[in-house]
Amino acid sequence: MSGPLLDHIAVACTVLEDVLPLYTEGLGLRLLGVEAVPTEGVRVAMLDLGGGARLELLEPTTETASIMGFLARRGPGLHHIALRVADIEAALAQAQAAGLEIIPPAPRPGAGGSRVAFVHPKTLQGVLLELVQPGAGVHGDAPPAGPAAGGTL
């Protein structure tokens, strides 16, 4: 069995329009799309990092978004990294056996039919890590059909 692959790196920002050109025009990354995710209180811009990996820029759209707390405490910057796994139950069991705390304890639905869970940063030396089991049809190196689909930019 192969190990996990990089799925995305997420960056918290305060104003998406200010940051996006730095990555597209400044660094030449291709914008895959922008989508509002009302359930998380964020707007997400997805950029192609190649090899099926993406850079996710997260902007809060409500005062109660969980990312607001992060921005208030630490300001804009790296928020989490996400690894793609084939079997999220097996990955969580392996992580928990090694002492990592999973939040929430069971995977929850993510974009594009995926299932996701996070490793609490207090058990991973300050790193918030997301585990993603892709939904059917969005696995592999094809352009992601999840949150980027139907973007407005």
The footprint of Co ion (CB under 5 A) covers 10, 82, 130
- Minimum Å gap between C-beta 130 and Co ion is 5
Q: Please, which residue, 20 or 130, has the CB nearer to Co ion? A: 130
Distance CA 42, CA 45 (A): 10
Q: What are the φ/ψ torsions at residue 67 (nearest 5 degrees)?
A: -70, -15
- Minimum Å gap between C-beta 56 and Co ion is 6
Q: Please, which residue, 55 or 82, has the CB nearer to Co ion? A: 82
- Minimum Å gap between C-beta 35 and Co ion is 13
Cα separation values, 42 from 14, 17, 95, 121, 141, Å? 10, 14, 28, 21, 26
Give me 96's structure tokens.
């928990």
Q: Please, which residue, 8 or 20, has the CB nearer to Co ion? A: 8
